[in-house]
Amino acid sequence: MSHVMNTYARMPVAFTHGEGAWLFDETGKRYLDALSGIAVSTLGHNHPRLVRAIAGQAACVLHTSNLYRIPLQEELADRLAAMSGMDEVFFCNSGCEANEAAIKLARMYGHKREVANPTIIVMEGAFHGRTMATLSATGNRKSQAGFEPLVSGFVRVPYRDIDAIRKVAEHNPNIVAVFLEIIQGEGGINIADEAFQRELRTVCDEREWLLMCDEVQCGMGRTGKWFGFQHAGIAPDVITLAKGLGSGVPIGACISAGRAKGLFGPGNHGSTFGGNPLACAAALETLAVIDDEGLMGRAVEIGEFIRNGIAQGLEGVAGVRDIRGRGLMIGIELDRPCGVLVAQALEAGLLINVTSERVVRLLPPLTFGREEANALLERLVPLLRDFLRQN
């Protein structure tokens, strides 16, 4: 019996190696990876440039400390600032750590404005992580159950409801920030429309609140732009990144600008491992490959091809509520719970995920091409069709 703590309902498979969009298990069976470790393996598996970059850095130095200058960290911060139009970057190891930093920035911002109980507006259906503060910000009662008391300082409103936000603004003088996922991943691939994002920016400006965008899952080129907020042309005060930033090497980032710039000083926050040379080398190479191979444009093209293929394949089949997404962040919402599809897809040599009980979630590597997209459709469409007809 394994001594690994039982925190995941793991699938009965272990992978030994990968090549491109394919993974291979211990028996040699191959699987098309349409999940990429939940939006992590941006470049797929065993990308030669990423392998060289990691091996080369490992041969130099893996880790020093944030007590010293780290030139690769400075280079990566400059790159992210240029891509996002923002100013300062704090590096950590994961999305929840990046979001924790954002929450602390908001509280620091509030206290500097002499707000006694700084409070952040968060959204129903949101997922910001599993640390105590990010779990408290998460809009999923199932994830929170058993961990009360939760951290105070959050007010929850329905997703994309600008009137609800304005109503909170009228009655709560403690609000200092709004935390928004541009696309809710765990929540079911729900997209904040561009008009809502622009109106939210206006409200935040009127109230001098921070607009904080959680880009942990939808950032890093997955939607066809570096960041989800860039589709609406807004400028957040804080954004958070992780997952696809290092293409499998753990790294997260909390990036600030505007009112959130300059809030932290030495001793206010920190990370032992965050932004170490190995992680930064992986992230810099990931960004370079996305640029050099035109992967953001490909995400738009292949994402549309997959959504259209699924729609055509399921035409006339009852039970499909919606096929939505942006770029290579795709959700297929059914009218019934469909978690069993994950195991059925695994048997068929396909890795997918189901979230919010009824939404099949696809997050393929950005290196997915037409060949892989066709292989995905050949496996997934019959599974969905049979499931809906038999259940």
- What sign has the CA pseudo-torsion 281, 282, 283, 284? positive
Residue 259 has φ and ψ, to the nearest 5°, of -65, -20
SS3 132: helix
Structural contact between residues 156 and 141, judged by C-beta atoms closer than 8 angstroms:
no
Structural contact between residues 123 and 188, judged by C-beta atoms closer than 8 angstroms:
no
36 annotated to bind ligand: no
217 annotated to bind ligand: yes
Structural contact between residues 151 and 120, judged by C-beta atoms closer than 8 angstroms:
no
d(CA 143, CA 129): 10
Helix, strand, coil share of the chain (percent; to 5): 40, 20, 40
Structural contact between residues 98 and 91, judged by C-beta atoms closer than 8 angstroms:
no
Structure tokens at 239: 């954004």
d(CA 209, CA 179): 10
Residue 253 has φ and ψ, to the nearest 5°, of -150, 140
d(CA 238, CA 227): 12
Distance of CA 107 to the CA centre of its chain: 23
Structural contact between residues 64 and 243, judged by C-beta atoms closer than 8 angstroms:
no
Q: Find the DSSP H helices in 85-155.
A: 95-112, 132-137, 141-144
d(CA 1, CA 204): 52
227 annotated to bind ligand: no
SS3 141: helix
| CA atoms within a 13 Å half-sphere pointing along the CA-CB vector of 301 | 12
124 annotated to bind ligand: no
335 annotated to bind ligand: no
Partner residues linked to 359 by β-bridges: 333, 355
130 annotated to bind ligand: yes
Mark the binding-site residues for pyridoxal 5'-phosphate, compressed into ranges. 127, 214-217, 272
Mark the binding-site residues for N(2)-acetyl-L-ornithine, compressed into ranges. 130, 271
Mark the binding-site residues, compressed into ranges. 127, 130, 214-217, 271-272
